Amino acid sequence: MIDIQMIAVVVLIALGISAAVLKRNMIKVVMGIGVMGSGVNLFLVSMGYVEGGVAPIFTNTPNLTMVLATPQALTLTSIVISLAVTALMLSFSVMIYSKYGSIDTRKRRLKE
Amino acid sequence: MIDAWLEFCSQNAPALVIAIPLIAAFATPLFSRISEKVRNIWVVLSLLATFRVTATLLHNVLDNGQVVYTLGASVPSLTAPDGFPFRIILQADAMSAFMAIISVSMALIVCIYSFRFMGKKSGLDKYFALLLVMTAGMIGLVTTGDLFSMFVFLELLSVASAAMIAYYSKGESAEAAFKYMVVSSIGALMILFAAGMLYGQYNLLNIAGLAGVIEFTLIDKMALVLLFSAFALKCGAVPLHMWVSDAYGEAPAPVSAFLVVASQAGLYALFRISFTLFGGLPGIATMGWAMIIFGLLSMFVGVTMAIPQKDIKRLMAYHAVSQTGYMLLGVGVGLAVINDMGSLALFGKSAMEGGIFHVINHAMYKGLLFLTAGAIIYRTGTKNLNEMSGLAHTMPLTTIFFIVGALSIAGLPPFNGFASKLMIYESVFLFNPLFAVIAMVVSILTLASFVKVFHSAFMGPKVSKSAKGGEVPLSMWFVMGILAVLIIFFGIFPDVMLDNLVTPAVDALLNQAGYIGGVI
């Protein structure tokens, strides 16, 4: 049986990579990486999913099945990191736009 | 009192080597508000403290084997309560401590160099804060024993490096930083994905724990390929080298020197994955061949791309790619024969020693070359080789340091590049003579390229643009001098480095059972 969330993971990562590789607008490249990050985060969370589990707060629900706590902690950290990365890349785009008046990657100056 | 304090530092060294630069980084802007001098003293003091604790860690590791430190446990040595390592564990063996000491030493040199090089530019509090964050990221990456914290430290390093590359905030440097960030964040996401794949199967994130139970299923192979290519990307091996020339070329010169060490942290992670996480599995020798092919491609493509460059830093950046190839070749030969004890003892181990020795030599001479490039830029204000001439008239010390660096990177005696390259040639020749021939040809091309730089920048008549000003300020040539003296010292006495640091590091890398036994 194929898990539905794994299909979503594959679609999100594929969309993210294709946007990052094929798009020429820098903002779209940043969006692609964001989408890809969401795909990876979904993958991590679904790794720790337990059928019928609740949120892993032990003191609230000592007797119920809980989903695994570690992937959730990982995902939280990873979301924070993607936020920093996205903000940094967008600020680079701002710098490039204010210098060249364009965020098209074909109009770049760095060449061999 | 002081003894108790030193004892505390020694016991908590693995945590402190990450904590000190990280705390110091966020305190730097505060000290910067008092005065520039206080900030400079603060940055140097915190780096010296980091250096001292790293030296203690190295000393402990060399004396007593690896040091394991469990974060959040009541006793740091309590790695696996109930036989299951669920906490984040810092694990420093000789290889980690070796890389950590390289990072801190270069951080100190780059920091002292930057005081005069950056001069009165604005935003220097952030510059030094980011320098410290980069140091913390590197040390964290090399001392962690956990796949997920490896990802976290890698991202910390990438974000700080990208911000440093874009420091000049011209269009080109922002472009280079954007490229670096896109490439490294995709790489880091692949590492996270691979960590998720391994976690889903074995319920573990600890490298030692995973190495003990890994079975080499299809999913493990996919995870290996993802991790391998992502770290090969971080160290700038050839099919994945396109960010190196831009990033090294556009960053401020001291940052380029530090980025060399940052790439080597990626190289460390590549070796750790190949030798420890997946080491001992029957198929891993194939990855040794992959590493050799990456290495040969990097050496050859790097040097041929370097020859036509006109921008001095871009040229040196391509040489950095080319030299990374030597390390990959040396260690790759060791990995390719890892399951064949006879060949490993005959030439595999000495090839690895050559490769690992080349890591520290590369950090020294490539650091020195980037700093001399910085000295030239500091005086002439240009990176274009066609616009500089006759600098030997006005900058004699920089000229000498450049010659030392250039001859060392070309692998001529009595410089340290010769010592490690000779080990690589000799042992790789026994593995496959053709590879040794390629390595030597690349060295000759490297020499040709640096003769070109030397001739066009330092020889010839003085031109008015480059003639103004004399030698660079004392703090700048002093740190370059330290590197030059070290290069000559380790070229004449390579055994000092080999016996004390390199051989223990290679032994630690090959001792997979010891790494696993430290945790479980």
- Taken as a whole, chain A contains a residue count of 112
Cβ(B365)–Cβ(B444) below 8 Å = no
Numbered residues of chain B with Cβ closer than 8 Å to any chain A Cβ = 86, 148, 151-152, 155, 158-159, 162-163, 166, 169-172, 174-179, 181-182, 185-186, 188-189, 192-193, 195-196, 199-200, 205, 245-246, 249-250, 305
Which residues 62-91 in chain A show a CB within 8 A of chain B? 70-71, 74, 77-78, 81-82, 84-85, 88-89
For residue range B109-139, list pLDDT tens digits in order.
Answer: 999 999 999 888 888 899 999 999 999 999 9
Cβ(A38)–Cβ(B193) below 8 Å = no
For chain A, the distance separating the N- and C-terminal CA atoms, rounded to the nearest angstrom, is 50
pLDDT value at residue B179: 92
Cβ(B237)–Cβ(B293) below 8 Å = no
Residue A33 lies in a domain: yes
Residue A14 lies in a domain: yes
- Side-chain-side CA neighbours of residue B386 (13 Å): 3
The domain tally of chain A equals 1
Question: Which residue in this structure is represented by tokens 């692609």?
Answer: A32
For the complex shown, is ipTM > 0.90? yes
Q: How far apart are the C-alpha atoms of B253 and B378, rounded to whole Å?
A: 9
Which of these, B209, B192, B17, B191, lies nearest to B96 by C-alpha position?
B17
What does R_g of chain B's alpha carbons equal in angstroms? 22
β-strand partners of A25 = A104
For residue B472, give the DSSP letter: P
pLDDT value at residue B424: 94
Cα nearest neighbour of B250 on chain A: A110
Residue A74 lies in a domain: yes
Q: How far apart are the C-alpha atoms of B214 and B142, rounded to whole Å?
A: 22
How many CB atoms sit inside 10 A of residue B285's CB?
Answer: 14
Cβ(B96)–Cβ(B123) below 8 Å = no
Residues from chain B that touch A77, judged by Cβ atoms under 8 A, are 148, 152
- Taken as a whole, chain B contains a residue count of 520
Tell me, what CATH number does A52's domain have? 1.10.287.3510
Q: How far apart are the C-alpha atoms of B408 and B447, rounded to whole Å?
A: 9
pLDDT value at residue B466: 56
Q: How far apart are the C-alpha atoms of B442 and A47, rounded to whole Å?
A: 47
Among partner residues A47, A70, A89, which is closest to B181 by beta-carbon distance?
A: A89
**Token pair recorded at residue B203:** 């319920």
* Backbone dihedral region for residue B447 (phi beyond 0: left; psi -120 to 50: alpha; all else: beta): alpha
Cβ(A26)–Cβ(B178) below 8 Å = yes
Domain encompassing residue A65:
4-106
pLDDT value at residue B468: 62
Interface test with A, best of B86, B88, B159, B175 (most A CBs within 10 A): B175
**Token pair recorded at residue B197:** 């794949």
**Token pair recorded at residue B241:** 């080298």
The H or E element that residue B70 is part of is: strand B67-70
Residues from chain A that touch B177, judged by Cβ atoms under 8 A, are 92
For residue B151, give every residue at least 6 positions away whose Cβ sits within 8 Å of its Cβ, in sequence order, or none: A78, B188, B191, B192, B195
Residue B76, phi then psi, degrees to nearest 5: -60, -25
Q: How far apart are the C-alpha atoms of B461 and B463, rounded to whole Å?
A: 6
Which of these, B234, B228, B222, lies nearest to B197 by C-alpha position?
B222
Residues of chain B whose pLDDT is less than 70? 464-468
Query: Do residue A92 and residue B186 have CB atoms under 8 angstroms apart?
Result: no
Cβ(A103)–Cβ(A96) below 8 Å = yes
Which of these, B185, B352, B358, lies nearest to B264 by C-alpha position?
B358
Residue A76 lies in a domain: yes
Among partner residues A26, A81, A110, which is closest to B176 by beta-carbon distance?
A: A110
Spell out where B71-194 has E strands. 89-92
Cβ(A33)–Cβ(A17) below 8 Å = no
- Dihedral (CA of A14, A18, A21, A23) sign: negative
pLDDT at A64 over 80: no
Residue A112 lies in a domain: no
Query: Do residue A85 and residue B181 have CB atoms under 8 angstroms apart?
Result: yes
What is the maximum span of chain B, computed from C-alpha positions, in angstroms? 74
Q: How far apart are the C-alpha atoms of B333 and B37, rounded to whole Å?
A: 49
Cβ(A26)–Cβ(A103) below 8 Å = yes
Q: How far apart are the C-alpha atoms of B142 and B356, rounded to whole Å?
A: 14
- Dihedral (CA of B110, B148, A75, B217) sign: positive
Chain pair A-B, CB pairs under 8 angstroms: 92
Q: How far apart are the C-alpha atoms of B3 and B11, rounded to whole Å?
A: 12
Among partner residues B178, B192, B305, which is closest to A96 by beta-carbon distance?
A: B178
Which of these, B285, B262, B387, B399, lies nearest to B332 by C-alpha position?
B285
pLDDT value at residue B78: 78
pLDDT value at residue B465: 61
What is the DSSP secondary-structure string of B478-494? Answer: HHHHHHHHHHHHHHH-H
Q: How far apart are the C-alpha atoms of B403 and B415, rounded to whole Å?
A: 11
Q: How far apart are the C-alpha atoms of A70 and B235, rounded to whole Å?
A: 29
Residue A96 lies in a domain: yes
For residue range B140-197, list pLDDT tens digits in order.
Answer: 999 998 999 999 999 999 999 999 999 987 788 999 999 999 999 999 999 999 999 9
Which of these, B204, B233, B192, lies nearest to A9 by C-alpha position?
B192
Give the Å distances, CA to CA, from B467 to B387, B394, B458, B460, B461: 12, 7, 11, 12, 10
How many CB atoms sit inside 10 A of residue B33's CB?
Answer: 9
What is the DSSP secondary-structure string of A28-78? Answer: HHHHHHHHHHHHHHHHHHHHT--TT-B---TTT-SSS-B--HHHHHHHHHH
Given 3-state DSSP classes, what are the helix, strand and coil percentages for chain B, each rounded to the nearest 5? 80, 0, 15
Cβ(B262)–Cβ(B312) below 8 Å = no
For residue B144, give the DSSP letter: B
Provide the residue ranges of all domains of chain B, joining segments of one domain with +.
2-517
Residue A111 lies in a domain: no
Give the SS3 label for residue B403.
helix
Query: Do residue B175 and residue A47 have CB atoms under 8 angstroms apart?
Result: no
Q: How far apart are the C-alpha atoms of B393 and B108, rounded to whole Å?
A: 30
Q: How far apart are the C-alpha atoms of B475 and B104, rounded to whole Å?
A: 18
How would residue A110 be classed by pLDDT, with cut points 50, 70 and 90? low
Residue A40 lies in a domain: yes
Which of these, B86, B231, B45, B255, lies nearest to B153 by C-alpha position?
B231
